[in-house]
């Protein structure tokens, strides 16, 4: 598949078998790109992201991956962080890393925690962090363990303006480390940071800019 990571062919998706959320989606995700999936509420953004991450299966069509182990190659970032409150930030990251690689690499965690600006917070628990810090911790958890793709579903939805900017810029930084980032958002600011924006409307890709 050369530079392709994921290829979607004629994808349709329906939750109830009647109303199509996605209609005839053809999409290629390539290495080392920062994609934004933008559209209004109900346009099918999150559904498309979950299909890319193999959290949902298409009603019809085909999704091809260039890598064998999908679960270990993709990291997720969600709006409400989904950190394990009983574990420190370091332990959250180590657990995700071990699940993916069956080994521990503290140097990798330290490297990305410094890039994300949370190195000094590694031994703190999620409840001790601000919203922006929690989201950076969830990005850390998503990126460690030889992850190829980071999928983020409305990652700035519960953040203030400054922390939104920080998160979007940090995703941009991940491209330097051979990661591909795909972010779903209804916020137009996202398009300022992405090098490719997928515009969704009523379950259809209107254009990619």
pLDDT digits (tens, 9 = 90+) for 164-207: 888 899 899 999 999 999 999 888 887 889 999 999 999 999 99
Separation of alpha carbons 142 and 136, rounded Å: 10
Averaging pLDDT over each range in 64-73, 118-127, 154-163, which range is the top one?
118-127
Two tokens at 17? 């078998």
- Whether the pLDDT of residue 93 is over 90: the answer is yes
Amino acid 9: pLDDT: 98
Confidence of residue 106 (pLDDT cuts 50, 70, 90): very high
If we measure between CA atoms, which residue out of 54, 53, 5 comes closest to residue 32? 5
Backbone phi, psi, residue 33, to 5°: -130, 155
Q: For residues 200 and 45, is the Cβ–Cβ distance under 8 A? A: yes
Q: At what angle do helices 131-143 and 161-174 cross, to 10 degrees?
A: 10
Confidence of residue 12 (pLDDT cuts 50, 70, 90): very high
How many C-alpha atoms does 4 have within 13 Å on its Cβ side? Answer: 11
Q: For residues 24 and 10, is the Cβ–Cβ distance under 8 A? A: yes
Helices (H), the chain: 45-52, 70-73, 89-101, 106-115, 131-143, 161-174
Amino acid 55: pLDDT: 94
Q: For residues 81 and 134, is the Cβ–Cβ distance under 8 A? A: yes
Q: For residues 194 and 29, is the Cβ–Cβ distance under 8 A? A: no
Backbone phi, psi, residue 35, to 5°: -95, 140
Amino acid 79: pLDDT: 82
Amino acid 88: pLDDT: 98
User: Does domain 32-46+69-208 correspond to CATH entry 3.40.1050.10?
Assistant: no
Amino acid 163: pLDDT: 85
If we measure between CA atoms, which residue out of 194, 197, 192 comes closest to residue 208? 197
- Whether the pLDDT of residue 1 is over 60: the answer is no
Amino acid 2: pLDDT: 66
DSSP 8-state assignment for residue 205: E
Q: Measured in Å, how far apart are the chain's first and last C-alpha atoms?
A: 22
């Amino acid at each position: 598949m050369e530079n392709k990571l994921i290829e979607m062919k004629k994808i349709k998706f329906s939750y109830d078998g009647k109303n199509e959320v996605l209609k005839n989606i053809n999409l290629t995700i390539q290495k080392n790109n920062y994609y934004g999936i933008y559209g209004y509420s109900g346009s099918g953004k999150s559904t498309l992201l979950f299909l890319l991450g193999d959290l949902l299966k298409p009603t019809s069509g085909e999704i091809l991956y260039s890598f064998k182990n999908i679960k270990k190659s993709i990291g997720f970032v969600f709006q409400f962080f989904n950190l394990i409150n009983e574990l420190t930030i370091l332990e959250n990251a180590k657990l995700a890393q071990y699940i993916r690689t069956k080994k521990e690499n503290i140097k990798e965690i330290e490297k990305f925690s410094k890039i994300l600006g949370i190195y000094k917070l590694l031994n703190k628990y999620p409840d001790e962090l601000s919203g922006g810090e929690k989201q950076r911790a969830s990005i850390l958890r998503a990126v460690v363990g030889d992850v190829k793709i980071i999928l983020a579903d409305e990652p700035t939805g519960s953040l203030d303006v400054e922390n939104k900017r920080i998160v979007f810029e940090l995703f941009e930084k991940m491209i330097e480390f051979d990661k591909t980032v795909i972010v779903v958002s209804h916020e137009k600011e996202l398009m300022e940071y992405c090098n490719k924006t997928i515009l969704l409307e009523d379950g259809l890709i209107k254009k990619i800019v």
